[in-house]
Every structure is written in structure tokens, then in C-alpha cells.
Amino acid sequence: MKAKLNPAYLSAYAIVLGGAVIMLMPFWFMFVFATHSDTDILSVPPPMWFGDAFLDNMRLLLGRLPYFWHNLGMSFYVAIATTVLNLFFCSLAGYAFAMFEFKYKEYLFAGVLSTMLLPAFLGMIPSVLIMTGLGWMNEPRALIVPAACGAMGVFMMRQFIGSAIPKELLEAARIDGCGEFGIYWRIVVPLITPAFGTLGLITFIGAWNNFMGPLVIMNDMQMYTVPLALRSLSGTGQVPWGAISAGSAVAVLPLLVLFVITSRRLIEGLTAGAVKA
């Protein structure tokens, strides 16, 4: 379709463009500041283009945070484990809610959804008490297990499976000799990869950026995840903005790569079932 160059179209375009610039600016400054010294960063006007102090900033970061690479590994471990478990359990629950008829199904589903209404902070104290009781404090499983299945994921999977998989497929598999888990594993899972892409990305980002969870669970600096480790820098004398920016840039890179790889699937997954194929 040929673009219309009328004033209304141009002003709409300008608003969208302005919004995009405002949203991208923090990212831009994070990458730019990662390559400048603290003196340059605090100068007026601040630097707008890349400098050459990235390695100095990284050296400073690693000096202040000797476990930074370990913290990065911990972030990866927690985020990947949470994502894998979420995909598995949410798809299992979503499959059951979408495809099976059982007593009190609607009430159970409403119960699952109602957990979305509770602010995450409300669960903080009980969670710490439970983890202390289990002896899991300061261990990554205290972050992974409670986040292994979320209401949003169950809801998303139920919607996707209900709209994307005809019941006849499951019946055909049942006649072919598939057990119930076999149907899930061999038929349902391969057909819900777009939803896996979407939920996986959302869960990974959530787990990667989680700050409050590690803050109350992790005590040793060695066990910190990246957001918590970087935050710890700002409480010790002069704030090393260049080092924090360098650390943040390193921490955000995996997310950017993941987003670029899965963005098409993310959009597919979010719009799935919106229109009849």
C-alpha cells in the first residue's frame, strides 16, 4: 500500500518515532556510558557516542565484583532452569485445562488465574519462611522452584492449545496407541512451539531481571544474580557508573540476542488464535 503523505499521517509517524526514541534512549546511554570513564559520564553535556574506556570499566567492575562471571553464570542457570520448568509445567497444565473435561475444572482454572491478582511482594515473606523451613536459603533452587509454574503461562498455554490443536488430532493419536503423556509429548509439544517461544522469552526475561527474589534469598555475594550484584556496587562509596553500565551492557546482551532470535515467534505467539487461520 502506498504511504499517504498527509499531515495526519506524518504527525502520527512523528509521535510513534518520538516514543521509540524515548524508549531506546536508556539503552543507548547504557551502551555509550559503558565505554566512558565516570568523569566523562558526569560531564555536561554527557557523551552521546562511544568512547574507548570499556575495558577499563570492565577491569574496575571485576575488581569491585570478583564474582561477576559467577554471578552471570548464576543468572543464566536460574533463568534457564525457570524457563524450562515453566514451559513444561505450564504447557502440561494448559493442555489439561484446554483439552480435558473434569470436575470443578472451571473453579480450578479461576483459582489459578486469581493468583495473578496478588502482588508478588505479598508472597515474599511466606516464601522466605518456607525456604528457610526447607533449608533452601542462599540456594538457586529457592528461586527456581517457586517460579516453576506461573498463572500467566498456564493461561497462555491453555488459550494457545485450545485454539491451535483440534481434538480430533488427540483422538487420532489415542486410536494410534499413544498414551496420555505420549499425546502431550509427541503431538501437542511439537505443535505449540510458537507459544513456547513466547512464554520462554517472557519467562527468561522475568527470571533474568528478577531483583527482589535474589535480594531476599541470596546472602553470599558469590550466589548473587547479575542485577543484585550490580546493585551492590552503588552502596559502596563512590558509584562507579562506567562499571555499572559495562556490567549492565554485558547482562543485557543475552536478552537482546534472545529477542532477535525469537521476536518473530513472540509476535506469532501473542497473536495466535486472534483470527481464524
Partner 1 sequence: MAHLSLRNLSKRYDNNPPVIENLNLDIHDGEFMVFVGPSGCGKSTLMRMIAGLEEISAGELHIGGELANDTPPAERGVAMVFQSYALYPHMTVGENMGFALKLAGKSKQEVAQAVGRAAEILQISHLLERKPKALSGGQRQRVAIGRAIVRKPKVFLFDEPLSNLDASLRVQMRIELSKLHKELGTTMIYVTHDQVEAMTLGDRIAVFNQGRMEQLGAPLELYERPANQFVAGFLGSPKMNFVPCQLKDASSSEITLSVAGDNRLVLPSSHTIAARGDITLGVRPEHLHIVPLEQGFRARVDLLEHLGDAEIVYLELAGSEQPIAIKLPSGGHGLKQGDLVGLRPDAARAVLFGKQGQAIRLQ
The answer to whether 226 touches 141, Cβ cutoff 8 Å, is: no
CA atoms within 13 A on the CB side of 132: 8
The answer to whether 251 touches 226, Cβ cutoff 8 Å, is: yes
Among 10, 20, 21, 191, contact with partner 1 (rule: CB under 8 A): 191
173 binding partner 1? (CB under 8 A): yes
Among 5, 8, 175, 274, contact with partner 1 (rule: CB under 8 A): 175
- The rounded distance, in Å, linking the Cα atoms of 199 and 177 is 30
Site of grid cell 563512590: 238
Spatial neighbors of 32 by CB under 8 A, at least 6 apart, are: 47, 48, 49, 50, 51
| Segment interacting with partner 1, rule: CB under 8 A, options 57-65, 141-149, 173-181, 203-211 | 173-181
Among 115, 182, 234, 259, contact with partner 1 (rule: CB under 8 A): 182
Tell me how far, at minimum, the Cβ of 271 lies from partner 1, in Å. 19
- What letter does residue 47 receive in the DSSP assignment? P
178 binding partner 1? (CB under 8 A): yes
- The rounded distance, in Å, linking the Cα atoms of 15 and 7 is 12
Site map (CB under 8 A) of partner 1, residues 150-169, x = contact: ----------------x-xx
Q: In terms of CB distance, is 161 or 228 closer to partner 1? A: 161
Closest-CA residue to 253 (of 72, 84, 77, 54): 72
Among 42, 100, 132, 176, contact with partner 1 (rule: CB under 8 A): 176
Please tell me the count of residues contacting partner 1 according to CB under 8 A.
15
Q: In terms of CB distance, is 2 or 103 closer to partner 1? A: 103
Provide the binding-site residues for partner 1, judged by CB under 8 A: 166, 168-169, 171-178, 182, 187, 190-191
